[in-house]
């Protein structure tokens, strides 16, 4: 079966971003960018399905400006077969991303679509679910285990009280949680090979989607700063401070 | 203006997170109804009817909704929610699963994990793991919103007298089914609602050592949490994880033990009222947000702390 994986270019997860002084947006000048960690896990899962003989082809898709081709190449170096970039400006809303991905699904007809559960920039946790609704497909969100079983997929999900397993009819959507797998590193030969793999560029028009915006970012600001605390000498002093100064224990 | 709050419940009882969502709904200044979708969910519906400030409780009681499968519940919420200006749910795993589907069915954007209501169409929400607070304005006529529960007080669970009305709509998409679940058992307070949380990180070294936290947790009535490092190392189950990708907590007292304080962990706890860090590395980033830091070996400090509180 064919597997489609969606990947997003985001700020590297180790970077502490800041709001610009004028509050117009976050400052992303000269900041290291990378593939979203949850998307990397999605690619790894797809590649493992291919290595297990379950998947026949893995297609990596990203939506954004030309720079996101870098993240598609990363996915190709990790083992995806070919890439698709849907050319848009950066910062497209999840609902529009879902509509564009639905367009790609109609073209490619994959049996399984794997996305990360959330991107670490917008922290929305929406795209996979929206895509499921638009494409009329079932969803296994926050997956920590994915088992293909004939024309169904069993997904173990991380929920508030523990774990839940659901069976979904294929074609289906899966969004990855951190514990689904441990992504591999791309080797240098694979990075070189990835440069030769096909990468198509589509426009929203090709997919019959109009890029709109429902939300406007009015401003951004840093979160309230915490007061610098103190270091206590020993446990006695800690207990004393908690009892008599902070009054959080009695 | 009218607002539909989607109840978080386990059929038998209403979860506290619903009460925080009701407060957020009140901030929007609208009439509030609650939708309880489940199977055999009379207990949850009765509890919802007692919540102060609620006019009506709508109950969809059908086997199709028993396990909150997003494919079924989203169709129901989109149908019932069509008559409301706002659809609001607490940002629990269930709502995160279902609400974006509802938004897509209604062709509106979802606004995730709001921390404040600025006006009827403008909200604040944290982005980039809580390092930036964005103010967003929605152009949609209907708003689909999830609420960060720690940012809103709980509405009074008693004092209301809402009417209870049955909803007959049955939506079974027939494309997914519930197989089973593994629920982590605990006598301690729920992590996201506990007044005190004590969390362990990689420094705990193994799962056995988490017992060192238990005695303190019992004395303080605390819930026990963990960093991602501790979960990934297999010390404790994942539903104990506090952070950007785990649970968001804001207790009165948060005690971080053997936790360095990575951005992703801070995202889940830095709104706690008082933060205590116990770490033997005096340069650990956790000390930059801790009100009280103790540089000590946790294996010495924890037993001593337990004996002195």
Q: Can you give the length of chain A in residues?
A: 250
B301 touching A (Cβ < 8 Å): yes
Cβ contacts (< 8 Å) between A139 and chain B: which residues? 70-71, 97, 101, 176
DSSP reduced 3-state for B143 = strand
Residue among A130, A177, A217 with most chain B CBs within 10 A, to mutate: A130
| C-beta atoms of A231 and B96 within 8 A | no
Q: Is the ipTM of this complex over 0.90?
A: yes
Say if CB B65 and CB B37 are below 8 A apart: yes
The CATH number assigned to the domain with range B2-166 reads 3.40.50.620
pLDDT digits 0-9 by tens, A87-101: 998 889 999 999 999
Query: What Å distances lie between residue B77 and B36, B89, B170, B235, CA to CA?
Result: 10, 11, 11, 38
A126-138 pLDDT, tens per residue? 999 999 999 999 9
Q: Does A210 touch chain B (CB under 8 A)?
A: no
What are the boundaries of each domain within chain B?
A: 2-166, 196-307
pLDDT of res. A213: 92
Name which of B244, B99, B78 is nearest A123 in CA terms. Answer: B244
Query: Which residues does B308 contact at the CB level (< 8 Å), separation at least 6?
Result: A235, A236, A239
Distance CA A78, CA A72 (A): 10
Beta strands in A36-124 (DSSP E): 57-64, 82-87, 112-116
**Which residue ranges of chain A lie beneath pLDDT 70?**
none
pLDDT given for residue B155 in this prediction: 95
Inspect the interface and report whether the beta carbons of B136 and A95 lie closer than 8 Å: no
Would you say A78 and A184 are in contact if contact means Cβ atoms under 8 Å apart? yes
| A11 inside 8 A of chain B by CB | yes
Taking each continuous run of H as one helix and of E as one strand, the counts in chain B are: 8, 16
pLDDT digits (tens, 9 = 90+) for B245-273: 889 999 999 999 999 999 999 999 999 99
Q: What percent of chain A has pLDDT over 90?
A: 90
Give yes or no for B32 touching A (CB within 8 A). Answer: no
* Average pLDDT of chain B, as a whole number: 95
Partner-chain contact A130 B104, CB within 8 Å? yes
**CATH for the A2-225 domain, from 3.40.50.10320, 3.90.920.10, 3.40.50.620, 3.30.1300.10:** 3.40.50.620
pLDDT of amino acid B22: 97
CATH pick for B196-307 out of 3.40.50.1220, 3.10.580.10, 3.30.70.600, 3.65.10.10: 3.40.50.1220
The alpha-carbon radius of gyration of chain A (Å, integer) is 21
B218 vs A: CB within 8 A: no
Looking at residue A187, what is its pLDDT? 96
Tell me the pairing of strands A112-116 and A2-6: parallel
pLDDT-based confidence at B190, cuts 50/70/90? confident
Alpha carbon distance A61, A199 (integer Å): 9
Strands B2-6 and B31-38: parallel
pTM for the model = 0.94
> B220, A124: Cβ pair inside 8 Å?
no
| pLDDT per position as a tens digit, B61-90 | 999 999 999 999 999 999 999 999 999 999
Q: How confident is the model at residue B46 (pLDDT cuts 50, 70, 90)?
A: very high
Binding annotation of B for FAD: 202, 227-228, 241-245, 258-265, 279
Reported residue count of chain B is 309
| Matching fold, domains B2-166 and B196-307 | yes
User: Could you give the percent of chain B with pLDDT greater than 90?
Assistant: 93
Known binding residues of B are: 202, 227-228, 241-245, 258-265, 279
The pLDDT score that the predictor gives to residue B69 is: 97
Q: Is B271 exposed, middle or buried (0-12, 13-18, 19+ CB in 10 A)?
A: buried
Nearest-angstrom CA–CA distance, A79 and A39: 14
For chain A, the domains span: 2-225
Distance separating alpha carbons of residues B186 and A79, to the nearest angstrom = 42
- To test the contact with chain A by mutation, choose from B15, B129, B134, B297 the residue with the greatest count of A C-beta atoms within 10 A, namely B134
pLDDT by residue (tens digit) across A174-201?
A: 999 998 999 999 999 999 999 999 999 9
What confidence score (pLDDT) does residue A224 get?
Answer: 87
pLDDT digits (tens, 9 = 90+) for B199-219: 999 999 999 999 999 999 999
- Distance (Å) from the C-alpha of residue A37 to the closest C-alpha of chain B? 11
């Amino acid at each position: 079966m064919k597997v489609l994986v969606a990947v997003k270019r985001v700020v590297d997860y180790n970077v502490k971003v800041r709001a610009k002084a004028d509050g117009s947006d976050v400052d992303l000048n000269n900041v290291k960018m990378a593939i979203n960690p949850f998307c990397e896990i999605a690619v790894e899962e797809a590649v493992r399905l291919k290595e297990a003989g379950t998947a026949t082809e893995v297609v990596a898709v990203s939506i954004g400006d030309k720079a996101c081709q870098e993240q598609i190449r990363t996915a190709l170096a990790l083992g995806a077969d070919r890439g698709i970039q849907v050319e848009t400006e950066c910062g497209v809303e999840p609902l529009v991303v879902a509509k564009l991905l639905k367009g790609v699904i109609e073209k490619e007809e994959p049996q399984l679509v794997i996305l990360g559960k959330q991107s670490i920039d917008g922290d929305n946790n929406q795209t996979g679910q929206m895509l499921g609704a638009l494409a009329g497909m079932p969803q296994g969100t926050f997956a920590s285990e994915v088992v293909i079983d004939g024309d169904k997929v069993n997904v173990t999900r991380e929920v508030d009280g523990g774990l839940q397993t659901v069976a979904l009819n294929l074609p289906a959507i899966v969004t990855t949680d951190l514990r689904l797998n441990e992504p591999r590193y791309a080797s240098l030969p694979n990075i070189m090979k990835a440069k030769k793999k096909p990468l198509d560029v589509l426009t929203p028009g090709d997919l019959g989607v109009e890029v709109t915006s429902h939300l406007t970012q009015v401003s951004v600001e840093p979160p309230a700063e915490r007061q610098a605390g103190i270091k206590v000498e020993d446990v006695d002093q800690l207990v004393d401070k908690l009892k008599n100064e902070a009054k959080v224990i009695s | 203006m009218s607002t539909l709050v989607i109840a978080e419940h386990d059929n038998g009882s209403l979860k506290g997170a619903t009460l925080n969502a009701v407060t957020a709904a009140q901030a929007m200044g609208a009439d509030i109804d609650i939708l309880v979708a489940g199977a055999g969910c009379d207990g949850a519906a009765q509890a919802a009817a007692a919540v102060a400030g609620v006019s009506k409780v709508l109950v969809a009681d059908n086997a199709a909704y028993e396990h909150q499968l997003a494919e079924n519940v989203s169709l129901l919420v989109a149908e019932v929610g069509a008559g409301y200006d706002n659809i609001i749910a607490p940002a629990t795993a269930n709502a995160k699963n279902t609400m974006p589907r509802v938004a897509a069915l209604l062709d509106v954007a979802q606004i995730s994990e709001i921390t404040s209501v600025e006006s009827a169409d403008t909200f604040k929400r944290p982005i980039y793991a809580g390092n930036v607070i964005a103010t967003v304005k929605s152009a949609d006529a209907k708003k689909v919103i999830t609420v960060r529960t720690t940012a809103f007080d709980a509405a009074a669970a008693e004092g209301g007298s809402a009417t209870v009305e049955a909803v007959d709509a049955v939506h079974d998409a027939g494309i997914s089914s519930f197989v089973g679940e593994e629920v982590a058992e605990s006598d301690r307070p729920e992590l996201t609602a506990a007044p005190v949380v004590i969390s362990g990180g990689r420094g705990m070294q193994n799962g056995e050592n988490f017992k060192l936290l238990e005695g303190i947790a019992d004395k303080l009535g605390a819930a026990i949490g963990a960093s991602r490092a501790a979960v990934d190392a297999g010390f404790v189950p994942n539903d104990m994880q506090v952070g950007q990708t785990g649970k968001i907590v804001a207790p009165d007292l948060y005690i971080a033990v053997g936790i360095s304080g990575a951005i992703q962990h801070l995202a889940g706890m830095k709104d706690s009222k008082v933060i205590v860090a116990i770490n033997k590395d005096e340069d650990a980033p956790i000390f930059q947000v801790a009100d009280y830091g103790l540089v000590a070996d946790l294996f010495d400090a924890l037993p001593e702390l337990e004996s002195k509180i």
